[in-house]
Amino acid sequence: MHPIFVDLEIALKDIQAEARLMQSANARYAAVASAPSDDIDRWTYLTALSAGVEKTYTGIEKMLVRIANEIDRHVPDGHDRPPTLLRRMAVAVPGRRPAVISETTLSLLNQLRGFRHRVRNSYFEGLDPARVVENAERLPIAIEALAEDIAVFQKSFGGGP
């Protein structure tokens, strides 16, 4: 087994743990959002959810960078690195590896990537609460899809059971 799969498994477990915490926070936010509350409560939960999505997506991207670095032997650079990296992971690199992620996972991750960009470049008032919740709910779906894709990739690459 290629050692990268051990590292990917560890990273994926950390990401899944973070997503579980976010699901709990999202449930608590739903209670706060439906009850009269002050702006601090809303700000606290929405900021936490936004940061959670941003940090967790960044962790996913680091996993993909690791694959690009160790297996492809090339990591895209420049201002368009994140979308280029995602597109590359969705296609096979002849002579190196099969596709790492499916088109479905690519779509989910692209949506999270776009949200991460928005979070990094906005103040709280610039964030739509519905979009924050939507992306917090999208995250576990994307992580599950990624986990399935990594398992298929590992088997195809010759590194798994």
Task: Report domain extents, the chain.
Answer: 4-157
Amino acid found at 58: T
Given a cut of 60, whether residue 160 has pLDDT beyond it is: no
User: Are the beta carbons of 32 and 45 closer than 8 angstroms?
Assistant: yes
| Nearest to 52, CA basis, from 21, 14, 83 | 21
Distance from C-alpha of 4 to C-alpha of 45, rounded to nearest angstrom? 35
Contacts of 138 by beta carbon, 8 Å cutoff, 6+ apart: 108, 111, 112
The pLDDT of residue 161 = 53
How many angstroms from the chain centroid is the CA of residue 51? 12
What confidence tier does 34 reach under pLDDT thresholds 50, 70, 90?
A: confident
User: Are the beta carbons of 76 and 68 closer than 8 angstroms?
Assistant: yes
Return the number of other C-beta atoms located less than 10 Å from residue 2's C-beta.
Answer: 14
Return the number of other C-beta atoms located less than 10 Å from residue 154's C-beta.
Answer: 19
What are the tens digits of pLDDT across the range 58-96? 999 999 999 999 999 999 998 899 999 999 999 999 989
What are the tens digits of pLDDT across the range 9-29? 999 999 999 999 999 988 888
- Determine whether domain 4-157 maps to CATH 1.10.4100: no
Given a cut of 80, whether residue 38 has pLDDT beyond it is: no
pTM over 0.85: yes
Given a cut of 90, whether residue 98 has pLDDT beyond it is: yes
The pLDDT of residue 13 = 96
Point out which residues pair with 107 in neighbouring strands.
none
Question: Across residues 134-157, what is the average pLDDT?
Answer: 95
Distance from C-alpha of 35 to C-alpha of 57, rounded to nearest angstrom? 30
As a whole-number percent, the residues of the chain with pLDDT over 90 amount to: 68
Residue with tokens 């941003």: 54
The whole-chain average pLDDT of the chain stands at 91
What confidence tier does 110 reach under pLDDT thresholds 50, 70, 90?
A: very high
The pLDDT of residue 157 = 80
Question: Across residues 122-140, what is the average pLDDT?
Answer: 88
